[in-house]
Chains A and B, each alone.
Chain A
Amino acid sequence: MGRKAVNVELNMTPFIGLFALLVVNLLLTAVWNQVTALSTNTQNSTAAAESDPPPKDQVNLTVTILQSSVEMAENSNGVKVPHIGDKVDAEGIERTLSQWREKYPKRRDVVLNTENGVSYKMLITTFDTLTGAGWYDVGVSSQ
């Protein structure tokens, strides 16, 4: 009959106080909108007087977003990737970009042109596809 009591009641008050403080602190620092950005350096893509002319033998890689398709050109040789409905065919663009990657493994720069009338969403989708395929230096043309 001299056994110790094994039933122990934990004091929950400080535990609840800690949780309440944590919840308030985390509510104030929570991020509800994940906002990111696609960065471009337009100086390289406009007719700026200070920019150096590219080497003569360098191929100009340009992606032009038209209202019905995306034209991907190496100098004057172009490939058209038609849109799917009102959206850009990202997979088609990626296929062409993988061919470019095989031809130009060290290149990271590409110029992105847009036709008037194209939506901003198409521009961002194409820009995003280029960045995702490893073409980090995307110059968005403002012409």
Chain B
Amino acid sequence: MSEEIQSSIGRVVRIPGNHISPKYDMNYLRQKRDQGGAREFDVVLPLTSMIDMFSMLVIFLLLNFSATGEAFFVNKNITLPSAKNATPIESLPLISITEKQVSLDSEIVGSNPVTIDLKDQEMPALRASLARLKTLIKNQEEGGIPVKKGINMQADENTDVVYIKRVMNILVSEGFGKINFVTREELSKKRPGEVTDPSSSDSI
């Protein structure tokens, strides 16, 4: 880097730099050499983009936030039909009707689902599980524990209704009249002043 000196006669005298052409001065290397080779450890991270990313993430996740805390597992082999006017689902025993089998997820049998052959018309395994479920509900009610009544039912949208009706027949004959058909929410425009459906009464 050349320095400028004011001479006694008023003229500016420039002391030439290390090289005739400034392009080849290599000032950075000379500076490193003069400093003794010490590295600078002060690194400034650009945080603006990181904060932008976090802001977008928080806003997106806030939109998907749910405070109900109830989990629901959709069988991977099932494509649920969509509905615009359905109500939020409750945590109840779930019957899953797939292409090959019917299963009942219930607290009675722990984490192992009860599978029933689809060709079986009477479904004794399902009847037995429903009888156990009824006994459990009765014991809980006698013990003063509030019990939610009803059954959730999920099936693939292409399932023939004959399989649905067969399971429904068994549910009704065992005393489980309140059946909730599980659906996928389809967003719709609600008309102003429209009131949603009040919950139906229990049947057990």
Contacts and interface: CB of A to CB of B under 8 A. Distances in A.
Contact of A142 (B90, B158, B169): B169
A117 B163 CA distance: 10
A133 B105 CA distance: 33
Interface stretch (A73-81, A98-106, A124-132): A124-132
B54 A19 contact: yes
Interface residues of B, number: 59
A16 B51 CA distance: 7
Given A12-B51, A38-B83, A30 B197 contact: no
Contact of B198 (A36, A122, A136, A141): A136
Interface string B168-185: 110110000111111111
A39 interface: yes
A30 B64 contact: yes
Nearest to A129: B85
A120 B159 contact: yes
B102 interface: no
A15 B84 CA distance: 40
Interface residues of A, number: 48
Interface in B116-144: none
A36 B161 contact: no
Given A34-B185, A37-B180, A124 B64 contact: no
Contact of B183 (A38, A118, A143): A38
A36 B183 contact: yes
B81 A36 contact: no
A123 B85 contact: no
A103 to B, nearest CB: 21
Nearest to B66: A31
What is the predominant secondary structure among interface residues of chain B facing chain A? mixed
Contacts of A33: 72, 74, 184
Contacts of A58: none
A42 interface: yes
A16 B88 contact: no
Contacts of B67: 29
A41 interface: yes
A38 B181 contact: yes
A124 B160 contact: no
Contacts of A30: 61, 64-66
Given A31-B66, A42-B179, A124-B83, 11 more contacts: A26-B64, A30-B66, A31-B64, A36-B86, A37-B89, A37-B90, A38-B87, A41-B201, A46-B172, A116-B161, A118-B160
Interface of A: 12, 15-16, 19-20, 22-23, 26-27, 29-43, 46, 48, 65, 114, 116-125, 127-128, 131-132, 136-137, 140-143
